[in-house]
Structure 1
């Protein structure tokens, strides 16, 4: 994965956070990401916000990443805490650094995991229910207008008219990189990861299981780019730490996380699936061929195309 990110940064001049997002949207296909990155990231809107509930002494951060063209919610992340230090991060920070800080705050004393998840779900639901005109306005809207757009649903969610919100809007624009150099021919190192081989030194692979579904997708039909639901069942301390960080571990135990399939291989024990949680963190699961799994297939898969980025640009 590190090779793919660095190659994309070299070819387009984008930063690490933008490269990660473009690869995620293009099903981790470097060549497609290089071709599409100027158009992809012209339409990406990142909303970084801080909010406070003074009466409850609760402080929060959120990050919402939207595709303004396809009107899709790409990310909705939030943290709530009794610790005001969570709001120490600057709204002018790069969205990638902002998200990293947000994730770290989830592990601090005083964090509120259940409330954090509710805020994420509320923000995602708000934008999924929005009229197309809202996404059109976001492209040119001032931060004050967007703040008003989100203050109302958050106040309604908490039933707290005292909630205050500050927000910064970023449009990720790589239009200046319209003239791209020729993409290098892919090598074995840059291809899809070989699951049977030892992982790269900087890649942490977690043991996972995939969520089954009686009306789901057969293991043999899973493809790179499918969205599946993974549970971290790795007993290592670092795995438990990351599972909690990603929202996949609660007081009741592991909960499924929606993640993209990065690669599929056959093995004597069944189908070997690798999913991607984040840069440097993947998960492997052996899925028996007679099982059905909960998976979201995009329109591209119906055409035999494994690049799930096309789901964001239908029509």
Structure 2
């Protein structure tokens, strides 16, 4: 299911997505964003679910996004679809509309305040289609930085700029600044690359980003860098490889404005 929601009395607008495994009767994914920006509500529902999810992630970075409410709405989605009242949603071959979404509408109203207007679209895809495009199915480094506890994190595939006079990957530590480019081909990744200034007319362009975590093993080094509050990048490097880096962030660096 994918949909839009608005709370007229609070001037709030949102998008939501829920992916269910009907055979196993469980929720695979729940995502949501809430904003004071009405442009969020203009998002089309007849797009592919993966593109819709990309749009949802992009909206999280827009001005006017209510991060706290977004997390609360996402938690409410998960709770609703995991509840006994949601059992009808897991019936194969059944189509839903109107009053069938009353429990979901009530739960969202509890988060957003007052009555809400809810729109929903139901799509059917097999598990193979879901695995084919979901981010977690993309190849990942064998050794990579540990994830933080924050939910809804978008991890991009990146490359770092080598430098014969730079710092060996083995010697990198959290807080160092490296020059990273986004080579992830997903639509949301390309959108974010342009937003961050990491894409020029000729393709990916390196930008300075902070190293958030380092994990070492078997002569390889896994790096995680931070682009913004909800967007990171992962890459695996040979330990001896020297990369272009700076030990101290410059005052007023652009990434501080994103992370806060």
TM normalised by structure 1 equals 0.44
Evaluate the alpha carbon distance shift between residue 236 and residue 56 of structure 1 in structure 2; reply closer, same or farther with a 3 A threshold. farther
SS in 1 for 2:124: strand
Evaluate the alpha carbon distance shift between residue 112 and residue 151 of structure 1 in structure 2; reply closer, same or farther with a 3 A threshold. same
2:145 to 187, 197, 208: 208
Per the alignment, residue 172 of structure 1 pairs with: 125
SS in 2 for 1:140: coil
| Cα distance in 2 between the residues matched to 1:94 and 1:165 | 19
1:88 CA drift (Å): 1.6
1:132 CA drift (Å): 7.2
SS in 1 for 2:2: strand
Is the 1:273–1:284 contact (alpha carbons within 8 Å) kept by the matching residues of 2?
Answer: yes
1:98 CA drift (Å): 0.8
1:283 CA drift (Å): 5.5
1:145 CA drift (Å): 4.1
2:56 to 83, 102, 113: 102
| Cα distance in 1 between the residues matched to 2:118 and 2:111 | 14
Asked whether 1:117 is paired with 2:71, we answer yes
Is the 1:65–1:76 contact (alpha carbons within 8 Å) kept by the matching residues of 2?
Answer: yes
Per the alignment, residue 267 of structure 1 pairs with: 218
Structure 2 unaligned runs (5+)? Answer: 130-138, 156-173, 182-188, 193-214, 225-231, 238-260
Evaluate the alpha carbon distance shift between residue 238 and residue 86 of structure 1 in structure 2; reply closer, same or farther with a 3 A threshold. farther
Q: Which has the higher helix share?
A: 1
Asked whether 1:153 is paired with 2:107, we answer yes
1:77 to 6, 31, 50: 31
Per the alignment, residue 58 of structure 1 pairs with: 12
1:123 CA drift (Å): 0.4
Is the 2:3–2:119 contact (alpha carbons within 8 Å) kept by the matching residues of 1?
Answer: yes
Deviations 1:217-269 (A, max 9, x none): xxxxxxxxxxx999996756979xx8xx9xxxxxxxxxxxxxxxxxx995258
Per the alignment, residue 9 of structure 1 pairs with: none
1:94 CA drift (Å): 1.1
- Quote the RMSD (CA, aligned, Å): 4.6
1:48 CA drift (Å): 0.7
1:136 to 65, 90, 97: 90
Task: Trace 1:247-258 onto structure 2 (pairs within 5 A).
Answer: none
| Cα distance in 1 between the residues matched to 2:125 and 2:152 | 28
Is the 2:85–2:103 contact (alpha carbons within 8 Å) kept by the matching residues of 1?
Answer: no
Is the 1:211–1:229 contact (alpha carbons within 8 Å) kept by the matching residues of 2?
Answer: no
Deviations 1:159-212 (A, max 9, x none): 41x21111111111489x9xxxxxxxxxxxxxx76759xxxxxxxxxx733469
| Cα distance in 2 between the residues matched to 1:53 and 1:230 | 26
Alignment coverage as a number of residue pairs: 175
TM normalised by structure 2 equals 0.53
